[in-house]
Structure 1
């Protein structure tokens, strides 16, 4: 438990919010690595457009991780940004695609974003009553991540608005459907 915290937040509430933020920090660090992995491994038609579309997402996600780590420190807690922290906090599967087509990676990334955004929204609900400042940070991050998710989905959508990944339950299934 923190020995100090931000004014107006009890040490118990600071620990609760910090624990939520730590899981999100690990998720952001993992998302950053996943996006960079995709950036390095995407091939085929539209390679350069998608390769270059991913870089701003990587940079934004890295910045979001820094914001959450600093928020944890503001509460008097110690943010963990190691690979071991990601593994410890992980409730999701590791990204499975290696070198693959643009469509396959975008199909898999669609599901990554679905899971990530859903978890970020859960965190918003978790901290909202305790700390509206942290809630606001998470809301802002979610809005931008939803925009990036839209960018990904625009590549997977047909003229009727149907996603090629509709109904997929795993990244591999989404990749197969998107090919």
Structure 2
């Protein structure tokens, strides 16, 4: 029996597994959306965005894997079948008709921001129940925030407020 099971109630353990799997779902959707952006972006900045979005997508599998493995280490089943993603993701729906570079960038930024904000909430939610899971959420938050900063930097005009 793992240490978490000994130290925490079954209800707390199940709550952490549920919370982790929600973020596995969200980040899996974010990965798919980022690849859709990569494949479908068009415009004068095509190659720059095409390569940038692929790089961003490449950061997500390790984050997803870490969250899923934490759910497994707590004795839970990690992840959900892909059929559950549309009904369980908390990200905005991806619009395939958006292919213009700025529209794709704006939509992708919104999805990354939603995922990053949700992860930050998970840091606080998990802090009292499981500091290790909270720490993992903090690590994921840092990674998402860095990439979100890169995305948002493409949307500013360079003038500070």
- TM-score norm. by structure 1 comes to 0.81
User: Could you list the per-position Cα deviations for residues 130-173 of structure 1 after superposition, in whole angstroms to 9, with x for gaps in the alignment?
Assistant: 111111111111111111111111111013137xxxxxxxxxxx
CA RMSD of aligned residues (A): 1.7
**Alpha-carbon spacing, 1:16–1:57, altered in 2? closer, same or farther (3 Å):** same
Q: CA deviation at 1:6?
A: 3.7
**Inter-partner Cα distance in structure 2 for 1:112 and 1:91:** 9
Is structure 2 residue 21 aligned with structure 1 residue 26? Answer: no
Structure number with higher helix proportion:
2
5+ residue gaps, structure 1, are 163-179
**Aligned residue in 1 for 2:107:** 108
**Aligned residue in 2 for 1:132:** 131
The alignment partner of 1:73 has SS state of: helix
User: Could you list the per-position Cα deviations for residues 9-37 of structure 1 after superposition, in whole angstroms to 9, with x for gaps in the alignment?
Assistant: 33221111111111101001100000000
- TM-score norm. by structure 2 comes to 0.90
**Aligned residue in 2 for 1:82:** 81
Q: CA deviation at 1:68?
A: 0.9
**Aligned residue in 1 for 2:13:** 14
Kindly report structure 1 stretches of 4+ aligned residues shifted beyond 3 Å.
4-7
**Aligned residue in 1 for 2:149:** 150
